[in-house]
Amino acid sequence: MRRILIINGPNLNLLGKREPSTYGSVSFEDYLDTLRRRYPDIQTDYFQSNIEGVLIDKIQQAGFEVDGIVLNAGAYTHTSIALQDAIRAIPAPVIEVHISNVHARETYRHTSLIAAACRGVICGFGLDSYRLAVEALLSYV
């Protein structure tokens, strides 16, 4: 069975409650149930942390075990060379995702320090961005 890991970074534990006009009103746990039901033949693991180093530890560990990673690094997307280096260090392909269209928002969200290390980037489709990333991994991995 193919194994995919979804990693959410800072503040994404508050999905459903946090700025619902930007990020929607569905919790990630509820969305994950729907996603798992849609892809019963894939093992979809999930991990969230608000801490940069913990995200790096997870990428380093899982990156040698799973078939692909879907990563929403939250605001660390725009700041973290260390996350970029972690993505480069692992064999598993990583798809960068964002719920919102970061390019239609503040200019500081237009730059991703991790995109160059990722297999591809999906943003702006709400929570459906995660499903599109899973589709991408299934097609290209």
Q: Which stretch binds ligand DQA (CB under 6 A): 39-47, 62-70, 98-106, 114-122?
A: 98-106
- The reply to whether 78 belongs to the active site is no
- The reply to whether 103 belongs to the active site is no
Footprint of ligand DQA on 62-81 (CB under 6 A): 72, 74-75, 77
Structure tokens at 80: 């973290």
Give the separation between CA 125 and CA 132, rounded to whole angstroms. Answer: 9
- Provide, rounded to whole angstroms, the least separation between the CB of residue 77 and ligand DQA: 6
Give Cβ neighbours of residue 22 (< 8 Å, ≥ 6 apart).
99, 100
How many Å separate Cα 99 from the centre of its chain? 9
Structure tokens at 46: 């999930």
Give the separation between CA 49 and CA 2, rounded to whole angstroms. Answer: 24
- Binding flags for ligand DQA, 6-45, as an x/- string (CB under 6 A): -----x----------------------------------
Single residue of 99, 118, 122, 134 touching ligand DQA by CB under 6 A:
99
- Provide, rounded to whole angstroms, the least separation between the CB of residue 78 and ligand DQA: 6
Rounded to 5 degrees, φ, ψ at 62 are -75, -25
